[in-house]
Amino acid sequence: MSQRDGFTGGFLVGTLVGGIVGGIIGAVVTSRLENNNEEEGSSLLKSGKRDKLSPEESIEMARHRLEDKIAQLNHAIDDVRQQLGPVEKHSIEQETSSD
């Protein structure tokens, strides 16, 4: 019984401390993100770089970004295939020689 009482008390204390620490960390992160967003928004407004785009232009920009990301992913996949190619051939050779 004493172990169960110790576990319950420890669990409740851990939950309370974890909630307090998590709340503090969440508040700090949120305030920093809000400050960063305010700074970015004010600099964008001052520089005048942000123009309103038509829906067609925004779709076209999104399409170009997606195409760039797909090209980056394809390049990364090719690199991994080249790196794993010799490893796979070596493991296949070992399997056939042990049979």
Q: Is 88 exposed, middle or buried (0-12, 13-18, 19+ CB in 10 A)?
A: exposed
Mean model confidence pLDDT for the chain: 79
Please give the backbone phi and psi of residue 52, each rounded to the nearest 5 degrees, phi first.
Answer: -80, 130
- Per-residue model confidence (pLDDT) at position 93: 64
Extents of the domains making up the chain = 1-51, 52-99
> Taking 70 as the threshold, does the pLDDT of residue 78 lie above it?
yes
- Per-residue model confidence (pLDDT) at position 34: 83
Report how far residue 35's alpha carbon sits from residue 44's, in angstroms, rounded to the nearest whole number: 14
Report how far residue 14's alpha carbon sits from residue 1's, in angstroms, rounded to the nearest whole number: 20
- Per-residue model confidence (pLDDT) at position 76: 93
**Number of alpha carbons in the 13 Å side-chain half-sphere of residue 60:** 5
The per-residue pLDDT for range 31-61, each reduced to its tens digit, is 888 887 766 655 444 444 456 788 899 899 9
Mean pLDDT of 51-72: 90
Q: Which two tokens stand for residue 19?
A: 């909630």
pTM (2 d.p.): 0.37
C-beta separation of 61 from 53 below 8 A = yes
